[in-house]
């Protein structure tokens, strides 16, 4: 089934897939811009929804945003007093549009960031509707009472909450691991306390420098990579040391943050940390077959981790 559609063609063709009248009634944006400067979507002389869109022969995927959908340059049609074309059509799903006969904007959402967006809807609370008539100028608003009287709890949700069932489940714990160059760990400080912050940072170990210490003192950790170490050891933030888990391997995932290739040396350090175990220092990571490399990029080359220009040489 087609997920999104943006076509407004002549009535005879469009009638084969959905009712032309529904599209022109429910899915046409505005119009706005120079055609209608008083449209509610206008901000500083421009449409806040970026209409009209541009004609485009092919759909283009965007990593951190909405796709740029294909919009064919069709003949305009008359909608009310305006002449509109594909550039004014809001993305929709044909099946949903015919089912509900209402405005339903459907977008392709494939980024992992969408989880963060959807997560809040599960816990934002009940639907609410509260209407109160009071004298003009009077101020008598009880937020707690309004919440209690205005909330609308469905039968399934009431049953679930009365039985105190879990609202969420977590199978694994994710531990964020530091990836930084020598003497370049992040430091958080308040204005005017830079010197004290540097002194504190010199005494505290990061998850990375503490991993080096662990490999020096615990031979059993030598065969465990940096990203896998949280499964077997717990990072104690009070002492900034890795401590062996008492109950053995746990459902814990170590995550190394994504590093841009523009941050060259840190990018290649991350690549090495994903593959090298038992390192006791940054110099140890730079040492390959007894020879100390000058840069982490050179170390990656010696380990044959880079195959060519396509690997960001």
Q: What is the pLDDT of residues 40-49, one digit of tens each?
A: 899 988 999 8
SS (H, E, C) 80-133: CCEEECHHHECCECHHHHHHHCCCCCCCCCCCCCHHHHHHHHHHCCCEECCCCC
Gap between the Cα atoms of 252 and 313, Å rounded:
33
Gap between the Cα atoms of 35 and 75, Å rounded:
18
Indicate whether 10 pLDDT > 60: no
Indicate whether 101 pLDDT > 80: yes
Query: Which pLDDT score is estimated for 90?
Result: 92
Provide the residue ranges of all domains of the chain, joining segments of one domain with +.
Answer: 19-110, 174-303
> What percent of the chain stands above pLDDT 70?
88
Residues 197-218 have pLDDT tens digits of: 777 777 788 999 999 999 999 9
Query: Which pLDDT score is estimated for 309?
Result: 56
Query: Which pLDDT score is estimated for 122?
Result: 73
Query: Which pLDDT score is estimated for 127?
Result: 73
Residues 48-97 have pLDDT tens digits of: 988 999 999 998 888 777 888 999 888 888 888 888 888 999 999 988 98
Give the pLDDT band of residue 3 (cuts 50, 70, 90): very low
More confident residue, 261 or 125: 261
Indicate whether 6 pLDDT > 60: no
Q: Is the dihedral of CA 6, 8, 9, 14 positive or negative?
A: positive
Indicate whether 255 pLDDT > 50: yes
Query: Which pLDDT score is estimated for 183?
Result: 87
Query: Which pLDDT score is estimated for 36?
Result: 86
Query: Which pLDDT score is estimated for 74?
Result: 83
Query: Which pLDDT score is estimated for 4?
Result: 53
Cβ-Cβ contacts under 8 Å for 82 (sequence gap 6 or more): 31, 35, 36
Gap between the Cα atoms of 177 and 253, Å rounded:
10
Dihedral, CA of residue 16, residue 21, residue 25 and residue 28, to nearest 10: 40
Query: Which pLDDT score is estimated for 138?
Result: 65
Residues 223-241 have pLDDT tens digits of: 999 999 999 999 999 899 9
Give me the mean pLDDT over the 92-111 stretch.
Answer: 88
Give the pLDDT band of residue 250 (cuts 50, 70, 90): confident
Q: Work out the mean pLDDT of the chain and round it to a whole number.
A: 84
């Amino acid at each position: 089934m087609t997920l999104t559609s943006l076509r407004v063609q002549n009535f005879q063709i469009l009638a084969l897939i959905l009712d032309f009248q529904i599209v022109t009634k429910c899915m046409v944006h505005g119009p706005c811009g120079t055609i209608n400067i008083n449209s509610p979507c206008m901000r500083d002389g421009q449409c806040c929804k970026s209409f009209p869109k541009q004609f485009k022969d092919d759909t283009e995927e965007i990593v951190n945003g909405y796709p740029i959908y294909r919009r064919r340059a069709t003949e305009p049609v008359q909608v009310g007093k305006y002449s509109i074309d594909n550039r004014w059509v809001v993305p929709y799903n044909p099946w949903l549009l015919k089912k509900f006969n209402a405005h339903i904007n459907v977008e392709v959402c494939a980024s992992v960031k969408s989880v963060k967006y959807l997560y809040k809807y599960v816990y934002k609370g009940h639907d609410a509707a509260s209407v109160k008539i009071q004298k003009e100028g009077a101020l008598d608003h009880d937020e707690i009472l309004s919440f209690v009287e205005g909330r609308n709890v469905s039968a399934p949700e009431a049953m679930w909450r009365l039985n105190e069932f879990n609202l969420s489940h977590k199978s694994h714990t994710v531990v964020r691991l530091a990836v930084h160059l020598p003497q370049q760990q992040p430091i958080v400080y308040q204005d005017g306390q830079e010197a004290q912050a540097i002194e504190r940072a010199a005494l505290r170990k990061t998850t990375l420098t503490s991993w080096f210490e662990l490999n020096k003192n615990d031979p059993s950790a030598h065969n465990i990579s940096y990203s896998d170490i949280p499964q077997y050891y717990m990072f104690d933030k009070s002492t900034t040391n890795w401590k062996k888990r008492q109950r053995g391997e746990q459902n814990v995932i170590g995550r190394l943050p994504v590093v841009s290739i523009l941050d060259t040396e840190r990018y290649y350090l991350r690549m090495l940390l994903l593959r090298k175990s038992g390192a006791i220092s940054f110099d140890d990571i730079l040492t390959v077959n007894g020879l100390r490399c000058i840069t982490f990029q050179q170390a990656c080359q010696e380990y044959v981790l880079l195959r060519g220009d396509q690997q960001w040489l």
